[in-house]
Chains A and B, each alone.
Chain A
Amino acid sequence: DAKTTQPPSMDCAEGRAANLPCNHSTISGNEYVYWYRQIHSQGPQYIIHGLKNNETNEMASLIITEDRKSSTLILPHATLRDTAVYYCIVRAAFYNQGGKLIFGQGTELSVKP
């Protein structure tokens, strides 16, 4: 079973920030938080990952709470092309389980004009 809980759907206005929450209350010390998204029938696309600290790359920012029990993915200026299903995944350190990913249901983000 997935170790994360996400809202099934969210809407966001184009140009505004999209904040996607994820709960992972049972996360353990050597587990990472990964975010992927899947745009209609395509293969999932890696977005960002983190362990403890907040992370930012050209696509998004990842905010992890101090107790690591939840996180938020932020798309700073959502566009229509960001409409997708977003998956929050808790993954063990690579040396531990070979990078296996367990996907949940994800959040379906709809960006509206």
Chain B
Amino acid sequence: DAGITQSPRHKVTETGTPVTLRCHQTENHRYMYWYRQDPGHGLRLIHYSYGVKDTDKGEVSDGYSVSRSKTEDFLLTLESATSSQTSVYFCAISVGDSEPEQFFGPGTRLTVL
């Protein structure tokens, strides 16, 4: 599992509340990613990070912010959760040398009521 954990694993919240999801890695990899997956769809990239305090947007970044204050943690924040953000969220890290592959965490299932 390349030492990736996500917390919480499940969360139910109400519309309008802030939510923060945490991705933690134990191996000091530089690149980290947040994806979301909705029923019947593949994963879509939200944001990614290429180092401490270095982040960039993915294809579905609206409504999300991220922070990376230390190498091992990549946080995804929904400032004001909406029902459309009900999804399964996966964190990933890139592992390897010249053309690394991504290893994914176990996912966080978020329900916004």
Contacts and interface: CB of A to CB of B under 8 A. Distances in A.
B90 A44 contact: yes
A68 interface: no
Nearest to B50: A98
Interface residues of A, number: 23
Give the size range of B's interface with the partner.
20 to 34
A20 to B, nearest CB: 15
Interface string B82-113: 00000010101010001111111111000000
B31 A43 contact: no
A65 interface: no
Contacts of A43: 90, 92, 104-107
Interface string A73-113: 00000000000000100000110001111111110000000
Contacts of A104: 42
Contact of B99 (A32, A42, A102, A106): A32
A45 interface: yes
Given A98-B50, A101-B33, A104-B42, 10 more contacts: A32-B99, A34-B101, A42-B106, A94-B94, A98-B31, A98-B94, A99-B31, A99-B100, A101-B43, A106-B42
Interface of B: 31, 33, 35, 40-45, 48, 50, 56, 58-59, 88, 90, 92, 94, 98-107
Interface of A: 2, 32, 34, 36, 41-46, 49, 87, 93-94, 98-106
